[in-house]
Structure 1
């Protein structure tokens, strides 16, 4: 096998290697565009919960040399899947045109709803490359439509689980494998369309890869790929060197595991030594009974946090992963042992990224970031379509409304977007409404949901779904007990809530503050049923004590409203610029009363009262110093009962 020269390439070689490096990325990009444009389901076509990658065989195993992500986490887990699968597969018997299917979490997959297709590529008679495409699918069997089987305790109660399985042989579909897949899903036409798209983009990728080999030669392409990995590794190490050496420990918790109604502790210690890092999850709670645990993915997925803070610009490849070792205690929430369920991987993954960000932010204040909402409020739905002309057809759909990102050292957090774990797009409602018996009544920013700070968090969202036919709904949400933490004196973002709305009325139910007639599904409420994360309880006033609900039947004409929390604030809110607070109030993002309570800013009829504001801020600062005031969690103060 030809490897990159040991010495640093000269300027001419480096220029050629960089050309090829970006050529490899372009291959992954074309694959991703092909996948998106030919997929059938909204989860791939619209949301872009998918990624494509190219791996080459090196002395270190299978290393990812290029990827193009729609969903960020796949860019960090793809190399794991390739190594698990290719180490198990019989490469000696592999023929050109073979494609392998796998979705087993204990073989590197994220969860069973994320399927992976791998296409080994023969170069000079030997398998030396593998192309990888992956995406979430709307349904793959199991007890409820769409996965995220909240409330189950084993993988046997989830979707179908496949070890590495031959799906195409010599570019011919393996009929038994396809039959088994399609006869165990509620939406076979949609699944078949997505699988064909995942396969087709691999064919596109192989053609482009062989063109690159033909243009520059095998040895040069492989040397350039090694150069690409080395350049990325050097950049990542340079970023890590800026963090002071030390051990940075963070403790947090998930609300619950969906079965046992008690917090699930999570612990991470980030150890920095020079240009390398160890991320140690020792101390994290034991393997949960519910489905929130993950298998192998936290070994690399948590590295997203490091990349985001210290080296955000260069493309991701295996060099991104090289400087970092991860410790996952077997039998813990971040490394469950079979047959535990892994279907809700989102909550542990989002929280692990939040925690690593918080740990590094404590060491690198100049680049610190407050916590994001920590949940996407993933919603999966399905049922029998009873609209005229579609009676009796099974359907499935998927939504990831997203929440707010945390405030940063540089500015305010982003509002109403998918959490960094995915960073995907949101649904295209016109598509969803045409294909599914639902109407999206609201998808908009929730006022008073962003954590207060010198730089406020991003605002969370309102997502109201109205059913036109009886619909089976799954909601996967966390941060119900309290919202996203702020940093450096910033306040918490709003926590998560949901209500069931019988006989949704477009004239009265569009006001998100109106609670009359609504049935609380989950959230922290006071004794009057008013949302109150600081003083309320998740044990009373709602039908569920968890934000992880599966199998909820929404009758035709009824609706469900989900409020996704905002991001935490950065810095002292009493130091936020008055003009910025005034603008947020005038834009309807903050109410005047919340601005007074959290920022110490007085407005009357939209006009800033500078003297009153100065006096109030001095008063609140004194009360804080005396331990009698703290920044209130973000939440509207004018709920209507």
Structure 2
């Protein structure tokens, strides 16, 4: 159905509008059921899950409604169902069948993200496909958690399955369940999550059938098409407001975990009327390590466009229609099998950063700065040795939380995960009940936000101590330099990591006190002090990368990570002094960084307005001469 001025406000359209939100409500109830019944913290607490409803349209399937916990799944979902159903004969399916797939080259993001698809029959014909997806806490492979840093092929990773029947007529296919459960470290969590993923589809079918009974099949399908076209037209209006042109940006991944060579991510955004092409030609070759992706940047990068030109409409297949994406085969954004691509959590944010930066060039004074650009995913697992828990296998995840970039009208959001996920970290009380871990510290850190007229959001410190020996995988980028600023602003702080032997909260509570800590990665000076402006990459550190596998955290020891904030927006010498003074008073910006980056002259917590105006004029003149530039954010008051 095409929306036009002639049909606007008619009773038929009003009914379709009610039904399209009814479809969204079905997806929401599926997602609520999934999270309430999931066993692992990945789905239950972190929200690394999504539910969707697809309808057949033309030669393929389109997403009409979804409810995301993890934003990237909302964008990849339309393609996953088409990849899977191209392999599976829909005419041979029966009511109650459920397909399992986790193959990155058949649509999933990486092998840890499993997808369950359930056909909905009406009058003997498949009219809808219901879809649930979540990251599973483990599916075998060399390390717990699935981010197999250091591997070079998919054969070294977790189990990978093409579209395969998991339930037949609502009866579990025992051989497949046995295969999955006998090849991972935490079968109790995996079984619970698989049942939750299946159960939410049963809930969705029941609710969808009730909606069809109320509105009729044809009207519900028409409402789905209406939803897609409404979103498409809203996206096209947003794109049409962007000036036509070609806008090119290049960014980098630090390394691939095998070599220490930076990997370029180059994108050209071409805007023509109400359509757009996103071209990744010129990006780096397929990496040796696991940080490339099989295909999903074709749609995941569109998150940046959605956030900037059409943030309010629901995501469905209409979001994708106005945009074509070009992915060079054999590049970091389109690796070829059997390359490893388990670490998608750095290339994805980097592609979104690049597209957002290119669009910022196009829109000028309505630009935004980059977010932290890395999720700093921590995967943990092992065998519990605590009294009363001896021999119990366990697994957990953590997302540390960085900051989003400043915009043309406001400071960036602090202490949150990158937009690729839009997830939250584990509930710390659950971590400590279910795992031999204690989260000693998780809070914002001063001086991590990129300086600007509107600063970036602040990053955080995450300190965790183990009560049993723990296998740790760290997936981190933005170690060499932080998130770039926009419109003349400074970059956010990069990431740092340390190992803390014999952790004691009283001695080790200050995140800026480095005495007795072993550096794991970061930019350090000769004395071991973090210094992104003049330090050397991983100097004196245990690792030459932020992508680590096989780190053993001994019982009684701890690790600490600091993740940077978002880039700033605009000239920091123009930042409102009342705002800057409030940041200093609230412990978000030190007096030292306020002087260095903002030209502020302080007396206690108060800024001397007259002296600051003179100092800012001096810095502006030095900048004109090329003798001063906005420093990268980083705390300046370390104790070593």
TM-score tier by shorter-chain length is over 0.9
Secondary structure, in 3 states, of the residue corresponding to 2:74?
Answer: helix
Q: Is the 8 A contact 2:368 2:569 kept in 1?
A: yes
Q: Is the 8 A contact 1:110 1:297 kept in 2?
A: yes
Q: Which residue of 1 aligns with 2:123?
A: 124
Question: Which 5+ residue runs of structure 1 have no aligned equivalent?
Answer: none
Q: Which residue of 1 aligns with 2:156?
A: 157
Tell me the distance in 2 between the aligned counterparts of 1:60 and 1:232: 20
| Pair 221,7 (structure 1): closer, same or farther in 2 beyond 3 Å | farther
2:587 maps to 1:588: yes
| Pair 5,591 (structure 1): closer, same or farther in 2 beyond 3 Å | closer
Q: Which residue of 1 aligns with 2:324?
A: 325
Q: Which residue of 2 aligns with 1:420?
A: 419
Q: Deviations over 1:105-135 (max 9, x none)?
A: 0001000001000001112222121000000
Q: Is the 8 A contact 1:309 1:367 kept in 2?
A: no
| Pair 6,210 (structure 1): closer, same or farther in 2 beyond 3 Å | farther
Q: Is the 8 A contact 1:378 1:477 kept in 2?
A: yes
Q: Deviations over 1:439-458 (max 9, x none)?
A: 00100001110000000000
Q: Which residue of 1 aligns with 2:438?
A: 439
Report deviation, 1:272: 0.3
Q: Report matched runs for 1:32-47 at 5 Å.
A: 32-47=31-46
Tell me the distance in 2 between the aligned counterparts of 1:126 and 1:133: 21
TM-score by length of 1: 0.99
Secondary structure, in 3 states, of the residue corresponding to 2:537?
Answer: coil
CA-based RMSD of the aligned residues comes to 1.1
Tell me the distance in 2 between the aligned counterparts of 1:402 and 1:8: 48
Q: Is the 8 A contact 2:256 2:287 kept in 1?
A: yes
Q: Report matched runs for 1:96-495 at 5 Å.
A: 96-495=95-494
TM-score by length of 2: 0.99
Tell me the distance in 2 between the aligned counterparts of 1:107 and 1:365: 38
Secondary structure, in 3 states, of the residue corresponding to 1:623?
Answer: helix
Q: Which residue of 2 aligns with 1:521?
A: 520
Tell me the distance in 2 between the aligned counterparts of 1:420 and 1:467: 30
Secondary structure, in 3 states, of the residue corresponding to 2:524?
Answer: coil
Equivalenced residue count is 639
Q: Which residue of 2 aligns with 1:574?
A: 573
Secondary structure, in 3 states, of the residue corresponding to 2:346?
Answer: helix
Report deviation, 1:278: 0.3
Report deviation, 1:7: 10
Tell me the distance in 2 between the aligned counterparts of 1:366 and 1:31: 41
Q: Deviations over 1:308-330 (max 9, x none)?
A: 00000000010000000000111
Tell me the distance in 1 between the aligned counterparts of 2:96 and 2:538: 56
Q: Is the 8 A contact 2:492 2:566 kept in 1?
A: yes
Worse-superposed segment, 222-231 or 103-112: 222-231
Report deviation, 1:615: 1.0
Q: Which residue of 2 aligns with 1:497?
A: 496
Q: Deviations over 1:404-436 (max 9, x none)?
A: 110011200011101000001121000000000
Report deviation, 1:214: 1.2
Report deviation, 1:609: 1.0
Secondary structure, in 3 states, of the residue corresponding to 1:231?
Answer: helix
Report deviation, 1:90: 1.2
Tell me the distance in 1 between the aligned counterparts of 2:603 and 2:482: 29
After TM superposition, what 4+ stretches of structure 1 lie above 3 angstroms from structure 2? 3-10
Report deviation, 1:505: 1.3
Q: Which residue of 2 aligns with 1:52?
A: 51
Q: Is the 8 A contact 1:5 1:223 kept in 2?
A: no
Report deviation, 1:221: 1.1
